[in-house]
Amino acid sequence: MRRKTGSGALPARAGRAPVKSPRGPCGGLPPTRPRTGPPGTVATVDDDAHPSPRGDDADAAEDPGTARRRGVPVAVLAAALGAALAVSAAVAAPTALRTAAGPAAPSTTAPPSPGPSPDPSTRTGDVAARLRTLPGVADAVLLGASDESARITLASPLPAPTDAQATADAASTLLADAAGGAAWSLRVEGTRPGGGSLVVEHGTGAASGGVDPATGAPLPDLLGADAVADAVRLVAHDAVRRVHLAPGIAAVEARATEDLVAVAALARAEDRGLTSLVVEGYGVGLFEGDGRSVPDDALLALVTGAAALPSVTQVAYETVRSTVPADPLLTVVTSGPAADVARWLDDAAPPGPALAYQVQGSSDDGTSTTRSGFVGGTAPATADRPTDACAPHDLTIAAAGVDAAAGRRFLTLTARNDGATPCALAGSPGMRFVADVGTETDVLLEPDDAAASPVVLEPGAAASALLSWRGGSTAGGPALVVTLLVAPHPGDPETVVPLTGVPGVGDGLDLLGGGTATVGAWALAG
Per domain, the residue ranges of the chain are: 34-59+70-80+252-365, 120-247, 392-524
What are the pLDDT digits (tens) for 496-509? 999 989 999 999 99
Give the integer Cα–Cα distance in Å for 428 and 486.
10
* pLDDT of 69 higher than 50: no
Give the integer Cα–Cα distance in Å for 331 and 285.
10
Average pLDDT over residues 362-386: 78
Own/partner pairs for 223-227, CB < 8 Å, 24+ apart? 223/247, 224/272, 226/161, 226/165, 227/200, 227/202
- Rounded CA Rg of the chain: 28
**Nearest in space to 170 (alpha carbons), one of 208, 199, 130, 198:** 130
Distances (CA, A) of 145 to 94, 120, 126, 207, 249: 9, 16, 13, 19, 26
Kind of pairing between the strands at 312-318 and 329-334: antiparallel
* pLDDT of 60 higher than 70: no
Distances (CA, A) of 259 to 251, 279, 300, 326, 331: 15, 8, 10, 28, 20
Collapsing DSSP to helix, strand or coil, 179 comes out as helix
Fill in the amino acid letter for 198.
L
Half-sphere exposure of 31 (CA within 13 A, CB side): 32
* pLDDT of 77 higher than 70: no
- Give Dmax (Cα) for the chain: 98
The predicted model scores a pTM of 0.64
* pLDDT of 236 higher than 60: yes
What are the pLDDT digits (tens) for 179-198? 888 999 999 999 999 889 99
> Quick check: 521 and 462 in contact, CB under 8 A?
no
What are the pLDDT digits (tens) for 122-178? 444 589 999 999 999 999 999 876 668 999 999 999 999 999 999 999 999 999 998
Q: How confident is the model at residue 380 (pLDDT cuts 50, 70, 90)?
A: confident
Fill in the amino acid letter for 476.
G
Give the integer Cα–Cα distance in Å for 238 and 478.
47
Give the integer Cα–Cα distance in Å for 426 and 452.
7
- Which segment, 111-120, 231-240, 479-488, is predicted with the most confidence on average? 231-240
Q: How confident is the model at residue 210 (pLDDT cuts 50, 70, 90)?
A: low
What are the pLDDT digits (tens) for 7-39? 443 433 333 333 333 333 333 323 333 333 334
Q: Which of 112-116, 212-216, 237-241, 247-251 has the lowest mean pLDDT?
A: 112-116
